[in-house]
Structure 1
Amino acid sequence: MKICVNNTCTDYDSYRAACVKSLFNVDRGNTFELETELPIENQEWKVGLVVGPSGSGKTSIGKALEGKGFTFHQSDSWPGDSPIIDAIAPDGDWQAVTGALSSVGLGDVPSWLRPYGVLSMGEKFRADLARIISEQPDHIIIDEFTSVVDRQVAKAGAHAFSKAWKRTNGKAVLLSCHYDIVEWVQPDWILDTATGKLSWGCLQRPEIELEIRQTGWEWWPYFEEHHYLKLPHMIAATCYVGFIDGLPVAHIAVSTRSRHEARACRLVVMPEWQGVGVGLKFLNAVCDMWRKGENRYARPMPVLFHTSHPGLASALRRKPEWCQVSANLYGANKIRSRRSIEKSAKRKGARCVKTGYGGHFRAVQGFRYMGDV
């Protein structure tokens, strides 16, 4: 495919325009021409990346591809009065939508309940990607890819989108002026508009080194706002925090369920690191330590983990290290829980809090970590 770009506008002759032409010895600035070869028609590929400095012709290349069946993604087409969970693929499977949101790293459940217009720039970026994945257009162009977000969010979001998109049947062309995402996107082909060079082949994503530290609850306030449940601390729990380059990125707490089994809760991955696989690797590593007896009891214990997050539950079902052991649609009996709390408080002579846990409509799925089997 040969792409020829010839953009023109009015050749202005105002006083200031004439001064600039004279001062910088420029005859005219009303034309832009670009000619490049992009032989992608008869090749098998999913993700292409056009990268280069601003003004080097990336958007013009995208417009040239419009005539070849591609369409530009429009980020201004979101409804203003619907949460994104309703706005994305409204006629589709809502669980597929939550899976798409999780797959691109927007796993913060409260943000699913907000309209697109009130989201942060990073959340909007990921919501756009989730919508594209859910709608699965055959040929899509995404301009200014990652241009408006923090660079760590950009890298994680780029990798998450590419990984999820490659499971679809469509073709996506990403236009970006940032070279730092190239290895994270892992595109099938790259066109650098600065050099005109076209390269084929998937690059290797940079390695992520995760340091795991055993802690108390002192780090929990840093993660709490990103957890979808607001509950008291687990009793007698050991907390673990994952660090990347000295920054806290993941949290989990583990406590005993019986003398021979443990349970893990409060798994949180910071939004800027969601979608790159940090959460599952962190969870597996901590559960593996307990399974091998690397805990304060010096006793090997299998670990149970419960979640109502559909994306996480789906991911665990795909992993051979995990075995699903339960699936409850409703919470526990709240009245029975309250009576138990009252009885325990009376026995200890403590003040009784008139409350109970359960009675909610929340599908909770349970998994047991099996390790390498």
Structure 2
Amino acid sequence: MPTLTFHLEAPVAKTARVLQLAGLFDIPPADRSSRSWTVDVPAPNADWQVGLIVGPSGSGKSTLARAAFGDALIGGYEWPADKAVVDGFPADLSVKDVTAALSSVGFSSPPSWVRPFRCLSNGEQFRATLARALCDPRPLVVVDEFTSVVDRTVARIGSAAVAKTVRRQPGKRFVAVTCHDDVAEWLCPDWVIDMPNGTLTRRALRRPPIELEVRRVRAAAWDTFKHHHYLDASLHPSATCFAAFWQGRPVAFASAIHCPGRVCWWREHRTVCLPDYQGVGIGNALSDFVAGVMRCLGKPYRSTTAHPAIIRHRAKSPLWRMTRPPSLGGRHEPNKSGITLGRTRATERFTAGFEYVGPPRPDDARSLLKIQRV
């Protein structure tokens, strides 16, 4: 474990105010102001991916990060003033790469992707900056002022999302520099340097569990979520609606509709996770839960989605079977009454079809759907 000693020094201009201050507070006169730190740092060849430098303002965090990691330190990015946030990423990245990066850090709101960076909320700007940092080709990225300007819920969820993304990339390393120690258990770093004492500790933290409560809700609950859906804000009048609550707050919404005809089935209608809670799998967890509940009604449960993050999740999940790979097109056929549920064609975007093949949830179906027998 190497030790790093760094020294800061600056001249003191003996102005009238400085001399008055020295007299008022009995500050010894000096030509220069200096401060030194001795800090243990992780070895360059050590086995780690996520690190954390934490301490109060003025404790030397940023100075240490510059001294230890040099050009890897990122304080921010220049973003186009009047172009979409997706246009702020390097030109050699495909749209698929950019949207995957944004989704990986919990920024999964396509309507916001087309807005300029300056028009995003603080939480969205935070996640966009993280996504761009993780697209950096350098193997090590150090982010200064990590979570300093966002709500603490956004900070915790965002920390969990970025840690998960980094650990999926072999050889990638990420260091967060922050004055907020509440992100530590969500970031789950391999090591932590506590400033100003400069102690390095190895940690084996586990992220706190996110325990969701799912309730059957009225259609009016959609008003909280509709502006964040990637297609439109409409809700079918016959939709069966559910919401997930965390710590008493609604965080995600899902609904299903019945598709009658010669072959009846239930279809996923709307699934939305609020932006502050994206990136840790809440939306997918609610979607899987609802599928298991609706499957108890004795009909297949199917879904057509264009969202890249949902497609990636379900393509790997044993709970879903892909019935149609991503392609342009897709059609919801009219039922025997001539009524078409949803959009008649989706020729302008890629969509994929899935069917839920996981286990039913009879106990939850009895509770939420008031079914007597399952």
TM range (shorter): 0.7 to 0.9
TM-score, length basis structure 1: 0.86
> Which position in structure 2 is the counterpart of 1:350?
none
Tell me the distance in 1 between the aligned counterparts of 2:301 and 2:352. 14
> Which position in structure 1 is the counterpart of 2:163?
162
Amino acid at match of 2:290: V
Q: Is the 8 A contact 1:49 1:175 kept in 2?
A: yes
SS of residue in 2 equivalent to 1:175? strand
SS of residue in 2 equivalent to 1:182? helix
Q: Is the 8 A contact 2:134 2:141 kept in 1?
A: no
Structure 1 segment 110-129 matched on structure 2, within 5 A: 110-129=111-130
Q: Is the 8 A contact 2:251 2:277 kept in 1?
A: yes
Partner deviation per Cα, 1:135-164 (whole Å, 9 max, x = no partner): 342122110011011111111111111110
Tell me the distance in 2 between the aligned counterparts of 1:39 and 1:309. 39
The 3 A distance-change label for structure 1 pair 90 and 222 is same
Tell me the distance in 2 between the aligned counterparts of 1:257 and 1:109. 27
Tell me the distance in 2 between the aligned counterparts of 1:120 and 1:145. 16
The 3 A distance-change label for structure 1 pair 3 and 317 is same
> Which position in structure 2 is the counterpart of 1:214?
216
What are structure 1's unaligned runs of at least 5 residues? 294-298, 346-355
Give the alignment partner of residue 185 of structure 1, picking from 180, 184, 187: 187
Please state if 1:364 is matched with 2:351: yes
Q: Is the 8 A contact 2:40 2:199 kept in 1?
A: no
Deviation of the 1:237 alpha carbon: 1.6
> Which position in structure 1 is the counterpart of 2:294?
290
SS of residue in 2 equivalent to 1:39? coil
> Which position in structure 1 is the counterpart of 2:43?
40
Tell me the distance in 2 between the aligned counterparts of 1:39 and 1:199. 9
> Which position in structure 2 is the counterpart of 1:311?
309
SS of residue in 2 equivalent to 1:65? helix
Tell me the distance in 2 between the aligned counterparts of 1:77 and 1:131. 11
Partner deviation per Cα, 1:269-312 (whole Å, 9 max, x = no partner): 00000001111111111111222x2xxxxx33432122101122
Amino acid at match of 1:38: V
> Which position in structure 2 is the counterpart of 1:60?
63
Deviation of the 1:79 alpha carbon: 2.9
Structure 1 segment 89-100 matched on structure 2, within 5 A: 89-100=90-101
> Which position in structure 2 is the counterpart of 1:323?
321
> Which position in structure 2 is the counterpart of 1:3?
4
Question: Which one is further off, 49-58 or 131-140?
Answer: 131-140
Tell me the distance in 1 between the aligned counterparts of 2:279 and 2:52. 20
Give the alignment partner of residue 274 of structure 1, picking from 270, 278, 282: 278
SS of residue in 1 equivalent to 2:312? helix
> Which position in structure 2 is the counterpart of 1:265?
269
SS of residue in 2 equivalent to 1:162? helix
Structure 1 segment 329-348 matched on structure 2, within 5 A: 329-332=328-331
Partner deviation per Cα, 1:327-354 (whole Å, 9 max, x = no partner): 4412549xx97xx99x779xxxxxxxxx
SS of residue in 1 equivalent to 2:135? helix
Tell me the distance in 2 between the aligned counterparts of 1:71 and 1:366. 42
Partner deviation per Cα, 1:143-202 (whole Å, 9 max, x = no partner): 001101111111111111111012222222211000110011111110111443211133
Q: Paired residues, what number?
A: 351
RMSD: 2.6
Tell me the distance in 2 between the aligned counterparts of 1:11 and 1:232. 64
Tell me the distance in 2 between the aligned counterparts of 1:54 and 1:86. 34
Q: Is the 8 A contact 1:215 1:239 kept in 2?
A: yes
SS of residue in 1 equivalent to 2:90? coil
What are structure 2's unaligned runs of at least 5 residues? 361-374
Tell me the distance in 2 between the aligned counterparts of 1:157 and 1:189. 19
Please state if 1:241 is matched with 2:263: no
TM-score, length basis structure 2: 0.86
Question: Which one is further off, 301-310 or 49-58?
Answer: 301-310
Partner deviation per Cα, 1:39-66 (whole Å, 9 max, x = no partner): 3223111111000111111011111024
Report % sequence identity. Answer: 34
Tell me the distance in 2 between the aligned counterparts of 1:344 and 1:368. 22
Partner deviation per Cα, 1:237-289 (whole Å, 9 max, x = no partner): 21001111111100011122247531112100000000011111111111112
The 3 A distance-change label for structure 1 pair 56 and 224 is same
Deviation of the 1:82 alpha carbon: 3.1
SS of residue in 1 equivalent to 2:241? strand
Partner deviation per Cα, 1:69-88 (whole Å, 9 max, x = no partner): x4222523223343222332
Q: Is the 8 A contact 2:60 2:196 kept in 1?
A: no
Amino acid at match of 1:49: L
The 3 A distance-change label for structure 1 pair 275 and 6 is same
Amino acid at match of 2:279: G
